[in-house]
Structure formats: structure tokens, C-alpha cells
Amino acid sequence: MGKSYGIRGRLVWQIATVFLKLMLISCVEARIQSYKWKVKYEYKSPDCYEKLVITINGESPGPTIFAEQGNTVVVEVDNLLVTENLAIHWHGIRQIGSPWSDGANGITQCPVQPGEKFVYKFVVDKAGTYIYHAHYGLQRSSGLYGSIHVIPSDGVKEPFSYDREHTLLINDWWHKSSAEQTAGLSSIPFRWVNEPQSLLIQGRGAYNCSLVNNQLNSLGTGSICNTTNPECSPHVIPVVFGKTYRLRIASVTSLSAINFMIEGHNMTIVEADGNYVEPVVVQNLNLYSGETYSVIVKADNDPSRNYWAAVNILGRMPKTPTGTAVFNYYPNHPKKPPLTTPPNGPLWNDTNYALAQSQSLKALKGFNPGPPFSSDRAINMFFTQNKIEGFSRWSINNFSFVLPSTPYLIALKQNLPHTFDPTPPPEKYDLQNYDIHLPPKNPNASYSDSIYRLDFNSTIDIILQNTNMLDPNKSETHPWHLHGHHFWVLGHGIGVFDPVNDPKKYNLVNPVVKNTVPAFPYGWTVIRFRADNPGIWAFHCHVEAHYYLGMGVVFEEGIERVARLPKSIMGCGKSKRLARP
Ligand SMILES: *[C@@H]1O[C@H](CO)[C@@H](O)[C@H](O)[C@H]1NC(C)=O
Ligand SMILES: *[C@@H]1O[C@H](CO)[C@@H](O)[C@H](O)[C@H]1NC(C)=O
Ligand SMILES: *[C@@H]1O[C@H](CO)[C@@H](O)[C@H](O)[C@H]1NC(C)=O
Ligand SMILES: *[C@@H]1O[C@H](CO)[C@@H](O)[C@H](O)[C@H]1NC(C)=O
Ligand SMILES: *[C@@H]1O[C@H](CO)[C@@H](O)[C@H](O)[C@H]1NC(C)=O
Ligand SMILES: *[C@@H]1O[C@H](CO)[C@@H](O)[C@H](O)[C@H]1NC(C)=O
Ligand SMILES: *[C@@H]1O[C@H](CO)[C@@H](O)[C@H](O)[C@H]1NC(C)=O
Ligand SMILES: *[C@@H]1O[C@H](CO)[C@@H](O)[C@H](O)[C@H]1NC(C)=O
Ligand SMILES: [Cu+2]
């Protein structure tokens, strides 16, 4: 090609080509956000009590992923946990075209083994506030979690304004390791995880060290719990009088529902799970595990002092002290705690209040396409607490979910036979002979690894029905999270869902769009989504122990449209052979 141009022409051509290539590379690189993460156990004291914590590059919470809508995020994870597998889920990211990067162990990938590296690569197609966290056993409760912030593309304005933003990840915290918790849940007699020792805001809490003051730390040089440890000094939210702040708040709790408030300040909810909502002014924000919100707060109170930001447990009888951070007005000292008592929040068992806040959320006009007016298929999911051969379990329509040894995505795409039960799970439950207000008459259920197969692009309704637990007069709130989708929340109610009258009350005009939604005690929740994202998607209770005990299901949609799978997700169960180079 160069010959006819002569030496000089060739040189010019070569320089031009190099220049063009450089431009192309920098262009492409701007659209890729790359991270390299080392995941390991380290001794940390997030609430002043020293224990082993899973860190990413030395931190818990892990690094925040910052990206612009449309960017590709690439995360190379190095599993240095030595004795534990690993999988990381990108919660709220739909994984369109990359279902193998969803990070759901046993569903979309084999776990990443100790000493192995794994690359997650996905497009963040929607601006908003998201999170990531471990999706293997109970590892989330060991501290493997962080934030994902996706800003709108250049030139796209958000429907609210603010001067600065702050991130608040909320978590509940136990002193027992996730290994101990997991073993307890799979034991006879059953050993429940119980209420958390602390609540953490942005990885910081404050345990009452005088409860354990005679135990030594891992070095043997001091107390295992030390309130002067800088790792547990309270998180500070710095503000300047007169400025407006966006707080990106997310709950990664393992168990607790959370109520968040800032002493002396109201908040305006503007975003939920990555979707804009009609502004709602609240004094208290309820967050169920797996939910993310943006609220707008104006620093307009007396700036001569600091204020408490406080988190309290909702929905379960609280046995954990209020978690706090300092809402710090400039120029007061950031560590100067307010002289007031941290606020307690609303009554933990006020279901009507909690329900009302969930019902107050509506999609912001002009930003979310509304739902189809009817669905092609309605799946009832009736969840119960059960016993199977003496083990405590949770079930959906009398089946308690267990993970197969071969992940569904690989089994279905590669046509690997006999890896899971192909019988479709039930879609109804005999409610005529069941009183949801009483413990089950027969506590037995069965294990199952069967899945729901959805017609591609069909519209699906899920009717979640909550019931009484094994103990009398007890029903809890369960936050349900769907992978691969954002869904419309058509309605919530208390009591048994009425298939004739309740659908007439569905909000088909401006239902909030979410990826996690609570089902309230003795209540029902209906969601609708379009099965238009080829892949295999988990739908489960986001209480980590409940999912571990079987409270989940799996959907297949458009498997034939899924592109060739990367070999890196294979290597377990019947996919061992396929992983060989
Ligand atoms: C911490 O625990 C000790 C011992 O039980 C108790 O006397 C004290 O009041 C507790 N402190 C706080 C702040 O709760
Ligand atoms: C607590 O930690 C501080 C340093 O942060 C140290 O000086 C002190 O001796 C420790 N106290 C105990 C009881 O371990
Ligand atoms: C918060 O809003 C309530 C009404 O919704 C109002 O009564 C109260 O004064 C407001 N508080 C502040 C600090 O603005
Ligand atoms: C809520 O719990 C409190 C105890 O924390 C109890 O006194 C009260 O009766 C409960 N209210 C309802 C409506 O169950
Ligand atoms: C439940 O299962 C246990 C065995 O785990 C059995 O002994 C019991 O009879 C079953 N109960 C009913 C009502 O079927
Ligand atoms: C649930 O499953 C158990 C165990 O197979 C069975 O004994 C029980 O009858 C089932 N209950 C219903 C309502 O189908
Ligand atoms: C899915 O269905 C919608 C509504 O019927 C239609 O507009 C869209 O083109 C369909 N998408 C595919 C990929 O078939
Ligand atoms: C459950 O609540 C009902 C009334 O709501 C009451 O009659 C009954 O005694 C309670 N049962 C227990 C075991 O607390
Ligand atoms: Cu649950």
C-alpha cells in the first residue's frame, strides 16, 4: 500500500496512522473505567471491636466505582481470601449483554476460587446510585460491599440541583464471623444470627466496649475493643450553612430494615434504586436491605453546632443501639459530638407508617416509561418459614431453594443435562385452606433447584404474599431484589391478596421503578417487569440469611439470545470439562 507514495509519503501516512490510533485509544479509554481489586481478610475494628473483615485494597466499604452512563466498567478481582470462594454482584446494574458478569454464585458463574483472578466487565447503562456486594454465602456480612455512582451522560441534566454530594452506606454488623453464622444456620439445633451488635454508617460504628473489656486483641497488646481506635471514630458529613447536598444513601444490611434521619433537618427523596421519583419531603427515610436512595438536604439549621445523623432498626424489635454519624457544620470541629441524644426514629413496629412511605414513592413524569397495562403471566409467590428434616428453612410455594453445583447460565447455554430439576416450580398456592395469620399447620417443605422459564419479552407479574412464621403472631418485612431488571411496583397491601379486587387498585399511571421492594408483615406486594433481558436472573429476599435458607427463585429468559459464554465463569459441577483451555 505504501509503495506508490514514496518514502516521504509513507512516513506521513505512518505518523497519521499512529496519531489516529492514539486518538482512538484515548477515546475508548475514557469510556472504560478499570479497577484492580485485591480481596482479603484483615483485622479491622469498624465498631471498635476487632475482628476479621473482608477488605478490597485494604478498605471496607470498598472503593466507590465512579462512571458515566454508557461507560464500561472492568473490575479485575483477585481472591486472596485463602480459604474461601468469592463472587461479587453489581446490585441494580442490569447486565444487558453481559449476564455472565452478574456475580450471582451458582446462577451466573462458578465461584472465584482462592488464589484465582476473575474479570467482571459490564456497561452501566442508567445513571443513578447503585451498590456492589459479595454474593457467596454470608460474605456480605463480613464487609465486602461498596458504592457505584453513575452520572448522566455529558449535557444531560438531572431533575434536581445541589452544590455537593456525600455517600452514606449503611450496614448492620456482627462480631461473629460469617463462617460461624453460616454454620449456625445449617445446624440442628438451629442457631439464628440474632440482632446485630452495631449499625455502621460508611463503615463506622461504636460498640459499648465495657461489655467485653477483659478480652485481648489479636496482638495481645491491648483490649479487643478500644473506643479510641481511629478506625471507629464516627463518620463525618461536612456541610456549609446555606448549601444544598445530595446524599446518596444505600443499605447493604444483612438483616435489618433501617430508618435514617438527620436531627433538625428534613430530606427530599428524589431517586430510588437508580430511578427518579416525584419529590417527597420526609423527616425519616426507611431503607430496606438492597435499596438505594438520593435525598436532597439543605444545610439551613443553626450552624453554631453539629447534629446527629442517626440510623435505627425498623421492623424487628431493636436490640442494637442507634448508629450515628456527625452532620458537621463548618467551622465547628468535625469530631465534636452534639450534646443532644441521638434521635430514636419511629416506632419499630409501625407497619402503617412504613407502608405509607413505600406507597408515597411515584415515578417522576417524563423519565420512566410506564408499565404495560396488562401482563402475560402472573406468578404467585407465597413465602413461608419451614422445617425440612429438622433444618430451619424458608420456602416459596412450599419449595426451598438450593443452588445446583452447575450454574444455570452454563447448564442451559451449553445444554448440560441433569444439572437441575427441570419440573417447573408451582405458580399458585392453596390459600383456601391456609390462614396467613397462623403458623403453618404442617411446617414441612421440600428442597428444590427448579426454575421459572419466561417467554422472551413477555410481561410478568409477581405477587408476593407474606405469612406468619413458625412462631405465633410473627411476620417480618422481606426486601425482594430482582437481578437483571428494574421493575414497576404496582401495589402493596396488608392481608391476603385478592385477585379480583386488588388488581383494580394497581398504580398503572406512575408506579415507582425499583430493583428491590419490601413485602410487609402479613402483606402483599405486586411487581411487573418485561422479560426482555436475555440471561438467568435471581429473585430473592435480600436478608442474607433468608436467601441462604432458601428464600429465592430463579428466572430464565431468552437463553437462546445469550452470546457465547466466557470460559472464566466455568469450572465447577458439570462445567469442569468446559473450563479447560
Ligand atoms: C455500656 O455497658 C455498661 C456495662 O453493661 C453499662 O454500664 C453502660 O451504661 C453502657 N454504656 C452505654 C453508653 O450504653
Ligand atoms: C486503645 O488504643 C490506644 C491507641 O489508639 C492505646 O493508646 C490504648 O492503650 C488502647 N487501650 C487499650 C485498653 O487497649
Ligand atoms: C420538616 O417538615 C415538617 C412537615 O413536613 C415541618 O413541620 C417541620 O418544621 C420541618 N422541619 C424542618 C427542620 O424544616
Ligand atoms: C410495638 O412494640 C412495642 C414494644 O416495643 C409494644 O409495646 C407495642 O404494643 C407494639 N405495637 C404494636 C402495634 O404491635
Ligand atoms: C414432617 O417431616 C418429619 C420428618 O422430618 C416427619 O416426622 C413428620 O411426620 C412430617 N410432618 C407432616 C405433617 O407431614
Ligand atoms: C409442602 O411440602 C411438604 C413436604 O413435601 C408436604 O408434606 C406438604 O403437604 C406440602 N404442603 C402443601 C400445602 O402443599
Ligand atoms: C418486546 O415487546 C415490545 C412491546 O410489545 C416491543 O415494542 C419490542 O420490540 C419487543 N422487543 C423484542 C426484542 O422483541
Ligand atoms: C396472637 O394474637 C392474638 C390476637 O391478635 C391473641 O389472641 C393471641 O393470644 C396471640 N397469641 C400469642 C401466642 O401471643
Ligand atoms: Cu427475608
CATH number at residue 281: 2.60.40.420
Q: How confident is the model at residue 567 (pLDDT cuts 50, 70, 90)?
A: very high
What pLDDT shows up at residue 30? 57
- Rounded Cα distance between 555 and 544, Å, is 19
- Same domain? For 346 and 246 the reply is yes
Section 463-470 average pLDDT: 98
317-353 per-position pLDDT tens digit:
999 999 999 999 999 999 889 999 999 999 999 999 9
- Rounded Cα distance between 87 and 505, Å, is 40
- Same domain? For 190 and 148 the reply is yes
What are the distances in angstroms from CA 465 to CA 352, 445, 492?
17, 17, 10
Residue 101 has pLDDT above 70, yes or no: yes
What is the whole-number distance in angstroms between the Cα of residue 150 and the centre of ligand 7? 27
Secondary structure E strands in 292-415 = 292-298, 307-314, 323-329, 377-388, 391-396, 399-401
Strand order in the sheet with 391-396: 446-448, 399-401, 391-396, 377-388, 459-465, 523-530, 487-494, 513-514
> For residue 320, with 0-12 CB atoms within 10 Å meaning exposed, 13-18 middle and 19 or more buried, which class applies?
buried
Closest Cα to atom 4 of ligand 7? 457
DSSP string, 125-146: -S-EEEEEEE-STTGGGGT-EE
Does residue 429 fall inside a structural domain?
yes
CB within 8 Å of 81: residues ≥ 6 apart: 39, 40, 41, 54, 114
Please report, to the nearest 10 degrees, the dihedral formed by the alpha carbons of residues 472, 380, 103, 171 taken in order: -40
Q: Which domain holds residue 37?
A: 33-359
Closest Cα to atom 9 of ligand 8? 473
Residue 378 has pLDDT above 60, yes or no: yes
- Same domain? For 199 and 344 the reply is yes
Residue 2 has pLDDT above 50, yes or no: no
Closest-approaching ligand to the CA atom of 210: 1
How many domains does the structure of the chain reveal?
Answer: 2
Q: Is the CB of 227 under 6 A from ligand 1?
A: no
Q: Is the CB of 223 under 6 A from ligand 2?
A: yes
Closest Cα to atom 14 of ligand 4? 349
Q: How confident is the model at residue 94 (pLDDT cuts 50, 70, 90)?
A: very high
Q: Which three cell numbers stand for residue 134?
A: 459479595
- Same domain? For 415 and 528 the reply is yes
- Same domain? For 288 and 397 the reply is no
Closest Cα to atom 11 of ligand 7? 457
CB within 8 Å of 185: residues ≥ 6 apart: 138, 191, 192, 193, 392, 545, 548, 549
- Same domain? For 177 and 131 the reply is yes
Does residue 66 fall inside a structural domain?
yes
- Same domain? For 335 and 413 the reply is no
Residue 16 has pLDDT above 80, yes or no: no
Residue 25 has pLDDT above 50, yes or no: no
Does residue 8 fall inside a structural domain?
no
What is the whole-number distance in angstroms between the Cα of residue 379 and the centre of ligand 6? 19
What is the whole-number distance in angstroms between the Cα of residue 213 and the centre of ligand 2? 12
Section 100-114 average pLDDT: 98
Q: Is the CB of 445 under 6 A from ligand 6?
A: yes
Q: Is the CB of 473 under 6 A from ligand 8?
A: yes
Atom of ligand 2 nearest to the CA of 229: 5
Closest Cα to atom 10 of ligand 4? 349
What is the whole-number distance in angstroms between the Cα of residue 444 and the centre of ligand 6? 6
Q: Is the CB of 155 under 6 A from ligand 8?
A: no
What pLDDT shows up at residue 24? 46
Closest Cα to atom 2 of ligand 7? 457
Section 171-184 average pLDDT: 97
Residue 50 has pLDDT above 90, yes or no: yes
What is the whole-number distance in angstroms between the Cα of residue 349 and the centre of ligand 3? 23
What pLDDT shows up at residue 4? 43
What pLDDT shows up at residue 5? 44
What is the whole-number distance in angstroms between the Cα of residue 131 and the centre of ligand 6? 37
Section 487-492 average pLDDT: 98
What pLDDT shows up at residue 368? 84
Does residue 530 fall inside a structural domain?
yes
Closest-approaching ligand to the CA atom of 281: 3
Closest-approaching ligand to the CA atom of 263: 3
Does residue 135 fall inside a structural domain?
yes
- Same domain? For 325 and 437 the reply is no
Residue 568 has pLDDT above 70, yes or no: yes
User: In whole numbers, what is the pLDDT of the chain averaged over residues?
Assistant: 94
- Same domain? For 396 and 298 the reply is no
Lowest mean pLDDT among 43-47, 364-368, 492-496: 364-368
Q: Is the CB of 566 under 6 A from ligand 3?
A: no
Does residue 327 fall inside a structural domain?
yes
Atom of ligand 5 nearest to the CA of 390: 5
Lowest mean pLDDT among 3-17, 176-190, 305-319, 473-487: 3-17
Residue 166 has pLDDT above 80, yes or no: yes
232-270 per-position pLDDT tens digit:
999 999 999 999 999 999 999 999 999 999 999 999 999
Q: Is the CB of 265 under 6 A from ligand 3?
A: yes
390-425 per-position pLDDT tens digit:
999 999 999 999 999 999 999 999 999 999 999 999
Closest-approaching ligand to the CA atom of 280: 3
Does residue 117 fall inside a structural domain?
yes
- Same domain? For 298 and 407 the reply is no
What pLDDT shows up at residue 577? 87
What pLDDT shows up at residue 343? 96
- Same domain? For 383 and 348 the reply is no
Section 83-89 average pLDDT: 97
Section 536-560 average pLDDT: 98
The preferred substitution site among 454, 456, 457, 560 for testing ligand 7, maximizing ligand atoms within 8 Å of CB, is 457
What pLDDT shows up at residue 322? 98
Does residue 142 fall inside a structural domain?
yes
CB within 8 Å of 188: residues ≥ 6 apart: 390, 391
Section 433-459 average pLDDT: 97
- Same domain? For 344 and 431 the reply is no
Residue 27 has pLDDT above 60, yes or no: no
For residue 257, give the amino acid letter.
Answer: A
Q: How confident is the model at residue 37 (pLDDT cuts 50, 70, 90)?
A: very high
Q: At which residue does the C-alpha cell 432498626 appear? A: 313
